[in-house]
Amino acid sequence: LQEPSDQSHHIELLAHPPGAHGHDREQTRSGAFAGLNRIWRAFRGVMKRTPLFEYHSGNSKLTEFAGYEMPLWYTTIADEHLSVRNACGIFDVSHMGRVSIEGDGSERFVERLVPTDVASQHVGRSFYTLLLNPEGGIIDDLIILKKSGSEFLLVVNAANAARDLEHIAEQVGSSGPRI
């Protein structure tokens, strides 16, 4: 949480002008910041947490992302970049949206959603692709796990999960696979 901008401070000063209730400008500024800290702590209390939260909270700088309290970094951006380039990196995906598509016609249906040749993908493997609108425009990127020829798990971005699910559901029709 950053200190309020001059505009936010100005709004706070209008609500509690200097001299009101014995406050001077510096006390009002400190009071505004303390109030934002209280709001931030209350907001943090309602954020969702992944199963890895305890590890993240003890080892990283946390931030809000799509309603979840998520790690922003662990050491430094440069250290983490070099670690991924020279060894490996791990990304907590447990906050991301998941959409199951199964049943007759599911492979054909998924092929209508993405530009990837879904039929040629191997069972038990995941692939990175794009979720498209009917005109071929990009809605989002996603990962698809092909569990079988008639069962798929789509892993969508957490921030867009509701919108992506709505788009997918609109495309299925009455006789399509189960979502």
Rounded Cα–Cα distance for residues 121 and 79 (Å): 35
Q: Which of 13, 179, 3, 10 is nearest to 97 (CA)?
A: 179
The β-bridge relationship of strands 138-148 and 97-102 is unpaired
Over residues 73-91, the mean pLDDT reads 90
Sheet harboring 126-132: ordered strands across?
97-102, 151-156, 138-148, 126-132
- Tokens linked to 33: 């910041």
Q: What is the DSSP letter of 60?
A: S
The percent of the chain in helix, strand and coil, each rounded to the nearest 5, is: 45, 25, 30
- Tokens linked to 51: 């199963």
Tell whether the model's pLDDT for residue 176 goes beyond 70: yes
CB 50 within 8 A of CB 96: no
Which pLDDT does position 1 carry in this prediction? 33
Confidence of residue 94 (pLDDT cuts 50, 70, 90): confident
Which pLDDT does position 173 carry in this prediction? 78
Tell whether the model's pLDDT for residue 171 goes beyond 70: yes
- Tokens linked to 158: 């957490």
Helix (H) or strand (E) holding 154: strand 151-156
Tell whether the model's pLDDT for residue 12 goes beyond 80: no
Tell whether the model's pLDDT for residue 98 goes beyond 90: yes
Tell whether the model's pLDDT for residue 19 goes beyond 70: no
Of 60-74, 101-115, 153-167, the poorest mean pLDDT is in: 60-74
Which pLDDT does position 91 carry in this prediction? 83
Mean of all residue pLDDT scores within the chain:
80
pTM beyond 0.75: the answer is no
Which pLDDT does position 43 carry in this prediction? 55
23-32 tens-digit pLDDT? 443 444 444 4
For the chain, give the percent of residues with pLDDT over 70: 75
